[in-house]
């Protein structure tokens, strides 16, 4: 054989035996992205000269689909790690590619645990929420108006409320934040009772018919299902006195926009859990609660916070406007809203 072109092809095939490759894909466990991930992996294999047939493609689809579903069930922050390497190290690419999968699960508490090390203080802003302080001012004598702070964090709202004279029960999921808040309250001898736990945990019991105000700022953005909103509101209605208030922030879809599964799943990944007003109404139906106001968090806080306190953090406006989820110059189809509810 002396055909130089054919000989070059033979040499290139022989060269594959000496080419090794290995690496990993980190794919967020979003079941709605199955087809996109399958195409990504198939295209990658094609680049490496691995043309998989229909049966192999279907096997890969089943493998990826099961892994995505399992990971997403555990956490919206789970990753599917797909590792690739030669099936036989002695034959390099010529012997084919092996794919292995494993799921890496990281909870919300675990993600928050690293914040003090990677983000500048104050983590959530230097000033309490203006809306929280405004509603608290309507409760009457602070000493007779106990407040429940759900998702209190390191105490951005709990500490100022306690300094005003309110007794505060603070529920916080992340241990490091609960410890910070407890230490700060002890140092100032403030009337704050810190409870480390998950408000959605059925075993976490709260005092009934005690509080004049319950607040949950930047908490519902971490929820995952409409049933969790119903559970949260039910527990709050049991905790708040008749005539008292529940104030929370939530990402609401604009009227006329119906988010699909991809948008819903991505909203969980981006800490912007997206609900419609219809879902909010369904969650509140039958409870002794009445929505009395619904307003933009950005507009209210920018208007009422001191100039030096706006924005609360460098990331706040992008996140609260919905642009962490939909990175567009136009107005995204969701926004963080203050929802004020009265306990009947």
Residues 6 or more apart whose Cβ sits within 8 Å of residue 239: 148, 206, 207, 208, 209, 210, 211, 214
* 178-191: burial string, b at 16+ Cβ within 10 Å, e else: bebbbebbeeeebb
CB under 8 Å to 115, separation ≥6 — which residues? Answer: 123
- Domain end, chosen from 51, 80, 106, is at 106
Residue 205 burial (CB count, 10 A): 12
Domain boundary among 50, 74, 106: 106
Count structural domains, the chain: 2
If asked whether residues 90 and 129 sit together in one domain, one would say: no
Claim to verify: residue 330 and residue 227 sit in the same structural domain = yes
116 and 219 housed in the same domain: yes
* Other CB atoms within 10 A of residue 75 CB: 20
136, 24: one domain = no
Position 293 scores a pLDDT of 97
Tens digit of pLDDT for each residue in 222-237?
999 999 999 999 999 9
Per residue in 101-142, pLDDT tens? 999 998 888 888 888 888 878 889 889 999 999 999 999 999
227 shares its domain with 80? no
Please say which residue of 77, 106, 135 terminates a domain. 106
The reply to whether 8 falls in a domain is no
Q: How far apart (Å, rounded) are the C-alpha atoms in residues 98 and 84?
A: 6
b (16+ CB within 10 A) / e for 223-260: bbebebbbbbbebbbbbbbeebbbbbbbbbbeeeeebe
Instruction: Please tell me whether residues 62 and 145 are part of one structural domain.
Output: no
- 128 domain-assigned: yes
Euclidean distance between the first and final Cα of the chain, in Å?
Answer: 92
Those residues with Cβ within 8 angstroms of residue 15's Cβ, 6 or more apart along the chain or in another chain:
none
Q: Which residue has the tokens 């953005």?
A: 221
Contact between 209 and 241 under an 8 Å Cβ cutoff? The reply is yes
Considering the domain boundaries, does residue 9 fall inside one? no
The verdict on residue 310 lying in a domain is yes
Q: Residues 99, 195: one domain? A: no
Q: Omega of the bond prior to 122 within 30 degrees of 0, cis? A: yes
DSSP secondary structure letter of residue 287: S
Predicted TM-score of the model (pTM): 0.92
Beta strand ranges found along the chain (DSSP E): 23-28, 79-86, 97-104, 147-150, 168-172, 192-196, 211-216, 240-253, 274-275, 289-296, 334-343
- Structural domain includes residue 3: no
CA–CA dist 13, 10 (Å, integer): 5
Is 65 among the domain residues? Answer: yes
Question: If you ran DSSP here, which 8-state letter would residue 166 be given?
Answer: -
**312 and 214 housed in the same domain:** yes
Q: Looking at the structure, do residues 287 and 179 belong to the same domain, yes or no?
A: yes
List phi, psi (to 5°) of 180.
-60, -45
| 204 in any annotated domain | yes
Is 68 a member of any domain?
yes
**Residue tagged 């108006």 (tokens):** 145
Same-domain pairing of 98 and 152 = no
Q: Return the CATH number at 263.
A: 3.40.50.150
Residue 335 is part of which domain span?
A: 110-343
Domain co-membership, 168 together with 65: no
Contact 49, 93 (CB under 8 A): yes
Contacts of 120 (CB under 8 A, 6+ apart): none
Which tokens sit at 161? 């409320």
For 193-230, give the DSSP string.
EEEES-TT-TT----SS-EEEEEETT-GGG--SHHHHH
- State which residues of the chain have pLDDT below 70: none
**Nearest-5° angle of CA 277, CA 273, CA 306?**
90
Mark whether 90 and 116 lie in a shared domain: no
């Amino acid at each position: 054989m002396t055909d130089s072109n054919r000989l070059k092809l033979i040499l290139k095939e022989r060269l594959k035996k000496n080419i090794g490759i290995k690496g990993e894909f980190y794919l967020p466990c979003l079941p709605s992205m199955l087809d996109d991930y399958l195409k990504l992996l198939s295209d990658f294999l094609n680049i490496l000269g691995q043309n998989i047939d229909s049966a192999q493609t279907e096997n890969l689809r089943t493998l990826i689909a099961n892994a995505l579903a399992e990971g997403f069930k555990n956490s919206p922050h789970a990753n599917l790690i797909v590792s690739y390497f030669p099936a036989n190290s002695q034959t390099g690419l010529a012997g084919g590619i092996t794919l292995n999968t494993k799921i890496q699960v990281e909870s919300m508490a675990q993600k928050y645990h690293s914040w003090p090390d990677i983000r500048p203080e104050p983590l959530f802003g230097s000033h309490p929420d203006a809306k929280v302080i405004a509603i608290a001012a309507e409760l009457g004598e602070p000493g007779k108006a106990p407040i429940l702070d759900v998702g209190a964090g390191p105490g951005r709202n709990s500490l100022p409320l306690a300094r005003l004279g309110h007794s505060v029960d603070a529920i916080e999921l992340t241990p490091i934040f609960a410890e910070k808040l407890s230490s700060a309250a002890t140092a100032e001898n403030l009337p704050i009772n810190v409870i480390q736990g998950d408000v959605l945990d059925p075993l976490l019991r709260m005092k009934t018919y005690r509080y004049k105000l319950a607040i949950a700022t930047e908490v519902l953005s971490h929820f995952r299902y409409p049933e969790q909103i119903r559970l949260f509101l039910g527990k709050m209605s049991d905790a708040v006195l008749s005539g008292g208030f529940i104030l929370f922030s939530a990402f609401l879809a604009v009227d006329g926009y119906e988010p699909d599964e991809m948008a819903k799943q991505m909203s969980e990944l981006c800490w912007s859990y997206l609900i419609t007003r219809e879902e909010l109404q369904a969650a509140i139906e039958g409870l002794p609660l009445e929505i009395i106001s619904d307003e933009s968090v950005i507009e209210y806080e920018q208007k009422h916070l001191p100039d030096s306190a706006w924005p609360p953090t460098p990331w706040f406006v992008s996140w609260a406007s919905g642009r962490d989820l939909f990175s567009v110059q136009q107005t995204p189809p969701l926004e963080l809203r203050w929802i004020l509810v009265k306990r009947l």
